[in-house]
Amino acid sequence: MLLSGTGQEAWAKNGWPTCPEDGRRVEIYMETSMGNLRYQNGFNPAQLSQIKNKVRRQMGPLWVPNGLTVADENYNLEMTTQVYQLGRDRYCAVIKSAKVFIGYRNINVYISSKYPQGSCEYESILNHENIHVQIFRDTLYRYANSIESAVRKKAPRIGPVYLRSANATSKKLRDLLDAQIRPLFKRMSSAISRKNARIDTKANYRREQAMCANW
């Protein structure tokens, strides 16, 4: 059972001892990764369609991809906590450290095996997919600092939490901090989707395909 309140003073008024720590001293570790970039051209359009469906890229039911960029967007939060027993069935807990990872483990660029390397069509697909790569990386770069600032600001304000059970302390503290960070990651992910959608349009594809003769 978690007892929530506005501060340590509220708990003192309810007969709870003050937590030995105020939770303000939290070590923050922030890791971002631009992703290991890998180019692959051993897949035909049908296979690329299967990959597209697996990652749920919305490109229209009849659209057959000649190229595809897939980035595994990742957000991970790890924490250490300190729990104090204040009496019988009375505990308080604070965050001691928080480690946040945001970024990509891999960015895979797929180019259809239908077009040989060096051909006009291959270079057109490559240029288009490299724009997607730049979108993934630029958007992460722009959001990383604001996310780190938010973590440094919000983590010291989470604790202490007061509980009737010591077993749930770490999960509760993690849930509270995660609720502050995850919406920021989702906002970044939404921005990436919007930017990618702007270049994945029929008009843009027509312009690109007009530059080559052997589609």
How confident is the chain (215 residues) per 10-residue block, as mean pLDDT? 49 73 95 96 88 66 73 94 91 95 96 94 95 97 95 93 86 94 96 93 89 90
DSSP state of 215: -
pLDDT value of residue 4 = 44
Secondary structure of residue 84 in the 3-state scheme? strand
User: Residue 27 sits in which domain range?
Assistant: 2-208
pLDDT value of residue 15 = 72
What is the domain count for the chain?
1
pLDDT value of residue 56 = 61
pTM of the shown model: 0.83
Report if residue 19 sits inside a domain.
Answer: yes
Report if residue 179 sits inside a domain.
Answer: yes
Report if residue 214 sits inside a domain.
Answer: no
Please say whether the beta carbons of 66 and 111 come within 8 A. yes
Report if residue 104 sits inside a domain.
Answer: yes
